[in-house]
Structure 1
Amino acid sequence: MASALDTCSFAVLGNSDCSANTTFIHLYNCSRDTSNHLSSYQCSEKIPDKCLQFYDIPEALLILYRSGIFSIDHTTLKLNICQAHRDALGIHWRRNKHSCCYPNHNEKSKAKPDRGTTLSLSKQYWLKTRQTIPRLCKKCVTELRKDLCSVDINFEKEIEIFYQVQESSVDLKDIRTGCLTAEEDHECQDMELGNDACISSQGGGLNEFSSQFSQPSQQSDYTQASSQDWMDTQLTPKDRLNSAMKILSKDYEPLKHQLCLSWSTISKSSKSYYQKKAQEAIFLILNIIAPGQETILLNSIETNKIEIDSTNKCIIEAYNNAANSRTQTQILSLIVNSFTKSELRNMIPGVTVSRIDAARKHAMITGPGNIINPPKIYRMKLTRPKISHFIDYILNPLFSSIVGFGQTVLKLSTNDKLTVPKVVRNLIHARIINSYQTYCLETGFSSFSKASLYRILKVCNASKQKALQGLDNTSAAGMGAIDNLTKVVTKLEAYGLRNEDVNKLKEMLQLVNQFLKFEYKLHLRMDDQCADHCTPFALSDSADLNFAAQCNHSHTTSCNKCQLVDSCVDIVETAFSNLEIPQTLSDEISYELENGARYVLEWKRHLLRTVHQDGARNDVLSDLKDNQGLLIMDWGMKFLPFIYRETQSDFFGKKGISWHFSCLVLRSPIDREKLDLFCYVHILEDGSQGWFSIANILVHLLHEFKSDKPLLEELFLKSDNAACYHCTNLISFIQQCNKDFPIKIKQYNFSEAQAGKDLCDSKTGSCRLHIFKYANEGHDILNTNDMKTALESHGGVKGTQACIVSVNQEVEPKIRTKIPGISTFNNFTFLDDGIIVKKAYNVGSGKKIGNGTLTDKNLEVERVYNLKINDPFPGAHEVGTVSLNQHHVDENTTNESVANEVSETVGNDHISETDSFFSCPDPSCQKIFAKCFNLERHLAIGNHSYVTNSCTSMDEAVNMYASKCETLRESNNLLVSTLTSDTELNINSNSEDRMGWAIKNKRKSTRFSLQVKDYLIQICEACDKTGKRPDCGSLSEEIKKACNENGEKLFKKEEWLSSTQIKGFIASYLSRKSKLSDHDTTPPPSKKQSVSRNECVLEEVTMEDDEKLNEIVTALETDDYNENMNNMVDNVFLAINIQS
């Protein structure tokens, strides 16, 4: 802006002649870029802690510092300056001396000044000496910095103060409107010149020019061509714009003032003024360039403008902050193809063309933003013969077993996949490798290192054999029989059996084991032409047509693997009969063969009955009506009290708390394809796990259901085969009181014995885990109230509610009703005039039992129901849901197809099976779930998936491993066909005569011999004196091998006992002894008296005594455990005392 004054405020410096100048501007209007000028003289002000980054020095601040004015206030910035002094002190300043100006410079030194003085260094020197120095050599600069290290200058603060004063140097009217007239500007200057306020206290005023600038610079070489050129160059940008617009249009109103403040700080009226002037100027130029098409041209220009959105801004910022050039190239490749090179160079200051080309190459080859990784170099030093040698070794049946059911997917380094049969490794990798290296050492074979062997085992993926707990007795006995038969075959090798035959028999037994464990359930159907697979045919009783089904097909086909199961023991026995073996060993082998045949066949029967009985639940759920429900009941494992900080004394002698789970499944009223789940937990404060407690809990549940769900009219009951459920008392109670119940019970279906894993088991695990989580938060779970509080904490378990009850066992009535053969009946239908019993679900018409034999006055509801509710159910709660396949599950549908349907509706609705944590409790079911409610839904529907599962490199090892696995499977199939060729005709010819082969048969009662009883009683009495419990398994082997003084065996083969029989005898003996001691009678009679008075019989234990026997056996095991722990503690304390 032009000043009203006619003199230059810097004329006193005398470094330039400004007498001819007539136009002046205020110092705060000097805003040229000084970066290139300062960089050329190597005097740019560096930003601390930032590499190659410098401050932007305002031109006005540079002029003040070169003038020796280090005070920044309104007065100094209002000074007038002519063009000559502006050039001489600003960006056109030149060195006019060739010697260093530092006062302490060595005169003998010929060093020349190579740089100007930085602003901060100049001010530091002035503050200390009140002098200015324009030129310095390198050596003097170093010395000067050392001398001035005590003078601290915050240059960033100096620049900030400058801008603050510059903004406040405008009149109040300019702040309000954003524009000033020349007269107003002059008035503002007159007001501000009297202001003594100074923002920076480090510096002098204008009156100190002469003293501060002790060494003034000479006149600049800058000259003017003519006075007219000088006047043109001195025009302000505003004057030039007005002159140009006046030439273009006589109607253009000149621009009064330039915008000096930030756009965001001016008023609305000022913004409107500047927008209007800008629009007039733009359209005036567009009208000259393209008359009548101003808008079109303007739009075409706007589309070519570079628009930087927030994402691109972040990318540019990341590029500027990148640590190295490689990272910058990766970041730049994200946007390099979206802009031209010139646009990128405008957007990102400092970016080069070569960097842009490198980023485009990166984006084309590796992809935008992808990390550049150096290529991996593989060194293949594993030879094929050595790989083949190791793979042959690990596939030895001693270390690996090829499973006939299931698959494993091996992945190559090229991401190709190979499907191989499922393999189970019987040893851990470390032991396999140690054994292999020992074998190589003995045979002189040079093998790989341990690391390479571990890598081969890792890429040749296989499942690992694990110890299992909680197996049912029948399955465990069958697997144990296979192991015993394998040991028998090993013994036969020592007596002349050829090595080829031994390996063949062992492979056969292993095939039988894998087939029954994994594959047999897949073969079972409701209508199959194979007698081993047709479940109604296998469960039909030929002696009673009421329990027999009439198949509408013939059973003419056969299954080679099923035939192998039936004949495997006979094949081993044939090999045994062809050898000459001592009589003592011959009896043991014969005994093992007899037991093996019985246990393997019973295992096969058990599996068939398990699959068939689960069909009852499937049919009920598929045909469930709106007024019907399925109630599944089971006892949870007793909960032991849990203390957050438990001492050793609190750990022993705990008494478990009984809790009962009841899961109700209803069809959802909102969506008929879904089922609603309700779980009710009864925590028993008093009472035992017997039929009386079950009857009270059942009555309580029926009243709760009726009050909460008035539309419910009929119930289907389901439970496992425990004695408290499957007993005459409970069945009679339901039949007699069914007419008085608020909800009628229509059916009661039992699972196969020890195969009743269901929805309640899953709920037990969820509730137990919920309680433990609550206890880990610092709470003690000591009683029933604590359990209920824990179950309801944090919203409780979804769809589950609990109550605390007490059952007075003293008022349990004595019942005289009888149902002959109830242990053989598994399905009960309740009618008004009696019940219909069936041995197997939907096999035969069943047998009807009238009410006459089921009625007892002690079974009335008033006499049985005495449940005391200490803490009721909380009431309304969240409901769980289950998806139900809308298609009806036909009884002829195969298990495989049903499993596929469940997989679609249950397993794939939420997550994939690879990220799962909850597996189905059925050991043969392959379903795995990520969430507990998916498992509950699967168990509620009950359609288990017995299908082939897929599991998830040294590519050579994987390929060889896969091919050998396939070869082994083919050899197994060949072995099956070879071994069964001799027995196929005999079995097929008698297939129709095998009706009912899977029915559970009662074993005949066999008395123990007196000699065996005497032997066991002696052991019991010896153990009673010493306090140690006998090992029943060791006793079973001891009875086989016990000899007299002459070396003859004490017991014949017919007198040998299994570990289960010995355990039952000991439990019975201790029970009788305990009853005698409770009545204060004399101790048990002597051995001979005991034998004569008490007849011990080897027979199947009745279901009514099963619970008591289990309690006795549990007590024995607990005593044995406590005794071992006490002995261990005594030994520890004894060792401590000896050391001390």
Structure 2
Amino acid sequence: MIIELHSNLKQLYPIDHQLSERELNAWRMILRNIGCHNITPFLKQESKYEFWTRSPHSNIEQNALKQLHELGFLLKRPMDSENFWSCFQKSLTVNKKGINGKQRILSIIADDFKYDELHKQLSVSNDLISRARKHCRLYGPGNSSMKKPSFTREKLPIEKIQEFENFISDKAHVIMSSYKTDSKTGAPVKYLCDTKQTLWEKFHAEFPDGIRHTTFMTKLQGNEYVYKEDLGGLCSTCSRYGYEIFDDIRKLIESKIADILIKKQLLNDLEKLQRFLKRDYEKNLDISDKGTTKHNLCISYCLLWAFGVCTEQHTHASEECAKLFTLFKHLKNQLSMDLHEDLDEYQNHLLYFLAHQACKVYLNAQFNANLLELDKNGAVLVVDYKMKILPKSSRETKAEFFGKKGWTLHSILMYTKKLGSQKLDIHAYDHWSMDARQDSWFTASSLHAVIESLENKPKWIIIISDNGSHYHNADLMMILGHWLDWYQINVKKWVFLEAGEAKTTIDSHHAQITHAIKRQVRLGLDIMEGVDIETAIREIQGTSVVHLEPNRTRDQNKKAKNTLPGNSNLFEWTWPGDGPMEGYILGREVPNIGEWTQFSLARIANLQKNKIEIPKPTVSAHTVPKSQWIVSMPNTSGIDPKRLTKEQLSLELTKRKINVVKTAKRDELIRELELAITNNIEIIQDTSDASEEKGASEEKENTNIIWVWKILEEYFLEGDVDKSKRYTAATMLESLKKKVEGGELGDDEIPKLQTVQSWISRYSAQHRQKMAEIPLNK
């Protein structure tokens, strides 16, 4: 047997070990002592390899190796330089110019040859050689270049950016998709309720000193903001029944009806019906700011009847809703009998979509209603699991992707009201874990970690989530019944909602997490450990990140389960902390509607098969948010200006002591009322008993109001003439207070600062319009 010394010795040492000459001499001595012979047929200068054998006929084997050496089989053949340079020149020729073309190909050999040699053999410029060498150092010889991350720097003041974000996050202006995201930014797709120009006019009326027109339009560019008649993609039901069904009916009409006039009329009716079902129907539903509804004489818009609890009489039905049945009646008259079954199916689908719209609008109203309940003692929690986060690498191969394990990420958004303001503080708690079981125990552990991290615990909380089995189960409902004893916190209620406003809020947060992780990978920083998740997302505003591992016991895997009969049909739960129902668990099918299903203490004891214990998860320290996440309180007026007529708008503005120009258009009145509602300008009500005194006081009050507005008008015009004497809202208010000291005005006649600011915005717009009309009148 013949062995090669160097290759065999490498198997005995670590991979990075370099054999010294002293070690080689020692091994040679050992081989000679055991009877081996060196039969290498060439000199050491020709090659470092050595052949040894222990055969008694070593001379025969040496002669065989010598013959192989002379024939050129034991040494590398010299490179055919002309063939090499010719092949490399062809590779350069067929590739395009640029960083991933000629530059990448030349980087394979750029560091191994001198400039003169490369220029002589390949006729390439020194600049290309220099860029190829730089490519080799940055990305490796022949590797593709990494895409450089793009950095966007805002040059606008933070206040103006915040104004735009508050405006564009208002559901009156945009509807955020619950599952579609922009592939470039990773942010949720936002469907604009109006054209971009219309939104700009509303924005400019609300924020006259905000960003300019060009900046506003630039921010609405890209695929993140979409405006079209069919708002498919809001949720799976809306996408299927609110868009695809109409598209199928449209194709049916175009292909099966030959008469052009009839076809045009049916398509027009179908378009009007689609617009009504998707936009106008929900405007007629009556839901208060407390999330409750009441009886409606029109059966088509009575939510109590839709939920099966209305006992009162209805006098009429909506003509617009009846057009749905009229349309299908006309279609059946024009189409053959074999298509009538399909038409009945389409009609049932649209009726289901109508019910879905009513339910969605009602449930979405519950989110704002719960936020309006907030005070200094309470908090609202919105909880959801993000899809599992997988390890990511900037140079990951397809083989490395499949079969890898990731981390669970559970998010809790805590809403609390800021003291002395109409703002809400949102604190996001993101818990990542190696535990892949998204169940009630993990949820309870995550909630426990948040509560224990708070210095000032709320006295009561409301929890909102989707209808997933990891939330909607008997175990978690029983665990929450012990919160008052464990944490001294009363759980007011847990509301289960479908995809809507609350779900969209946390989906937006998860989209930011996805975007932050993608950015981390683009920078070349791999996500290979859970700690890398913290590094990637801790910069998101209002976000704390923590590593959580639940404490699981063998008892949790027992087949015996806790049960609450019918719990999957109950979407609102509460746990009374005092009174005759103390200790009970109550649930009902629809929030604020219907009777409670009661689970008494004795009944709970019979249904509880597993012991309820306080979670004790292993939790790391919470990261501290770098910035706050502040949003405005929901509109408490319960008025949607878009639904009101011109007369109703004028009446609402008059109630708020806002002067109304008779020639003002409806759009202008809508903007005025929206601005008043945003600034919380309250309706002034007179409680005087005597009608004569009431009329006299109203006349006097209106005279005083007009006098105050005249004074403000003088201040405004004085600043318009002389810019150095321009008044702000604060200086105007200060001047009015001086008139109070002088006895010219009373304390009750001084408006609030927000009212003065609103007046300046309105009057400046009216003044500009008057100045523009002067040349036209001349």
TM-score, normalisation: structure 1? 0.34
Q: If you compute each CA radius of gyration, which structure gives the higher value, 1 or 2? A: 1
TM-score, normalisation: structure 2? 0.49
